[in-house]
Structure 1
Amino acid sequence: MVKLARQLRKRMTPHEVRLWSRLKTWRAEGFVFRRQAPLGRYIVDFVCFTPKLVIELDGGQHSLDDHRAADAIRDAWLEDQGFRVLRIWNMDVHNNMDGVLIAIRDALEAGLRDMRR
């Protein structure tokens, strides 16, 4: 699994590269993201362990029935492990990066609030 994750890091999509270039700058604020990280039997696009947030970038293939079903199973497993899952369309990364970053920041802040309870 680790070997596959390393390979995926080397072959990131243009949308993943674009989002990664922004997420890695948040380290100074205490939000440390990992890319193409193994979690259980899955490899997630991005994860921030504090708070437990997974970000998945989705292309058009994820609108197909078989992908939606697989995504639902994956999301349910991740949520059972305590992760919040945020799915973002590739086109939103391309056309609305500011909105994507606001959604991620909101999810991070909600996760921090949940941790304090």
Structure 2
Amino acid sequence: MPHSKVPPHLRRNARRMRSAMTEAELKLWNELRAHRLMGLGFRRQMPIGGFIVYFACPQHKLVVEVDGSQHAENQTYDQARATYLVKHGWHVVRFWNDDVLNDIDNVCAHILRLVGRA
């Protein structure tokens, strides 16, 4: 997918989301940032197409989403976003907040398996 200019409203929203991370998002970001997870480069709240994804590893076209209970109500939107991402070559993996907060080691191990580093 070619790199395209990010619309200003999407850029503002991504910036706002980066400053208002949930406890689970922050915990996972602390494992992913600065190439801490086996040298993988992740970006947070990265715009892709018309969507903002929680965490993306562009090198492996992997999107990692962290979902709380509100996502049970947003399944139609989440499915549309996932369909768009998969259509453009991205792999999407979702974790519940509880998984990240209570079992971060297995969350990270699963991410490593997906990119062939485990």
TM-score by length of 1: 0.85
1:109 partner SS:
coil
User: C-alpha displacement at 1:24, in angstroms?
Assistant: 1.3
Task: Choose which of 64, 67, 70 in structure 2 pairs with 1:55.
Answer: 64
Supply the AA of the counterpart residue of 1:62: H
Shift of the 91–23 alpha-carbon distance from structure 1 to 2, 3 Å rule, reads same
Asked if 1:32 is matched to 2:38, the reply is: no
Task: Choose which of 10, 20, 24 in structure 1 pairs with 2:19.
Answer: 10
Supply the AA of the counterpart residue of 2:86: E
Residues of 2 paired with 1:28 and 1:38: CA distance?
22
- Structure holding more helix per residue: 1
* Conserved? CA contact 1:34–1:47, under 8 Å: yes
Structure 1 ranges of 4+ moved more than 4 A? none
Report the number of matched residues. 108
1:101 partner SS:
helix
Residues of 1 paired with 2:22 and 2:99: CA distance?
14
TM-score by length of 2: 0.84
Gap regions ≥5 residues in structure 1: 111-117
Task: Choose which of 92, 95, 108 in structure 2 pairs with 1:88.
Answer: 95
Q: Deviations over 1:78-112 (max 9, x none)?
A: 001100000010000011111111111111228xx
Q: For residue 78 of structure 1, what is the aligned residue in structure 2? A: 85
How much is the aligned-residue C-alpha RMSD, in angstroms? 1.6
